[in-house]
Amino acid sequence: MSYAELFSLAGRTALVTGASRGLGRAIAEGLAAHGASVVCAARTAADLEAVTAGIRAAGGRAQAVVMDLADRAALPAAARAAEACFGPVDILVNNAGVNFREPVAAVSADHLDRILAVNLEGLFVLTQEISRGMVARRRGKIINLGSITTGFGLSQLAVYSATKGALGSLGRSLAAELGRHNVHVNTLCPGFVLTPLTHKLWSLPHMQAWGRQRIPLGRTGVPEDVVGAAVFLASRASDYVTGQALYVDGGFSTAEPWPIPEHGGNAAPPGEIKGDGLA
Ligand SMILES: NC(=O)c1ccc[n+]([C@@H]2O[C@H](COP(=O)([O-])OP(=O)(O)OC[C@H]3O[C@@H](n4cnc5c(N)ncnc54)[C@H](OP(=O)(O)O)[C@@H]3O)[C@@H](O)[C@H]2O)c1
């Protein structure tokens, strides 16, 4: 293999859940552009057809499979339907997820159940179904969509955070278990990305102003921002990477541009600083 082919997905089959819009759509389109045959899954057939038609119009290979991750009993059959499209799945992108932002005291039993069912339980069962074949064929890339909350706390996201933190743990344990079978498991953690899930919140002027100030790269993300990392984790370029959480968040979770004055707050210019040097 030449280095030029490191990111090629030619001959690979991918299953992307939640591929009908937002991040999943961009990831499905990105994997297809790199040569993968992509099965796009979600609940809404018409939206999926629009995405797969777009991929095919661009010269890629894609098919739609209707799948409800909250319906655990139906997932084995849904997994078989996905594998009937282009053959065994080499790349599983567990992207579908739901969220309800609310204070912990306001979380209803319904919201608790729905977030756990889609973000964690359904994802787990689908991963079980697909990973069996990966282990048997000794080839697989599993990419779970985490979040900033995989490793960082944000208010009014208690249940969602619990599921996204769990995906970090799941990824590390599956990496330990499946590595010997040449199955890689990583967690892709986007920051604040404008999608139908988040658009309303980030339309608020004070949220935009906070994002510009707090995110080191000075902006919220767009779905295309996560595609490169997804292609990397799906391709041979990441063949020695497993169990990791890769943050694609403009630097939010690891750095903060603090409001320090020019020249560190010292009156003297650099080189003549007489301060105590405290950080
Ligand atoms: N946007 C962000 O800023 C951000 C940041 C960090 C992490 N994430 C994560 O990235 C993933 C995608 O987020 P997004 O912003 O792209 O969300 P989105 O725009 O709301 O899209 C969600 C996708 O999941 C599908 N879906 C929802 N419930 C489903 C179910 N029960 N079964 C199967 N598919 C289902 C939706 O299609 P149907 O409704 O037709 O089923 C849709 O395709 C999520 O896991 C989210 O937690 C997002």
Closest CA to 120 of 150, 148, 141: 150
250 lines ligand 1 (CB under 6 A): no
Kindly give the parts of the chain with pLDDT less than 70: 268-279
Ligand 1 pocket: which of 25, 147, 197 to mutate (most atoms within 8 A of CB) = 197
Q: What is the pTM of this model?
A: 0.96
Each residue's pLDDT tens digit, 35-45: 999 999 999 99
Sheet holding 183-190, edge to edge: 61-66, 37-42, 13-17, 91-94, 140-145, 183-190, 245-248
Q: Distance between CA atoms of 163 and 149, rounded to whole angstroms?
A: 9
What pLDDT was estimated at residue 164?
98
Domains of the chain: 8-254 (3.40.50.720)
Q: What is the pLDDT of residue 272?
A: 60
* Gap between the Cα atoms of 40 and 32, Å rounded: 11
User: For position 73, what pLDDT does the model report?
Assistant: 98
pLDDT value of position 262 = 87
What number does the ligand 1 atom closest to the CA of 67 have?
A: 33
3 noted as active-site residue: no
**Phi, psi angle pair for 44, to nearest 5°:** -105, 105
- C-beta of 192 in contact with ligand 1 (< 6 A): yes
Mutate to test the pocket of ligand 1, among 17, 98, 248 (most ligand atoms within 8 A of CB): 98
| Distance from the Cα of residue 54 to its chain's centroid | 21
Contacts of 171 (CB under 8 A, 6+ apart): 142, 144, 146, 185, 186, 187, 243, 244, 245
**How far, in Å, CA of 96 to CA of 41, rounded?**
9
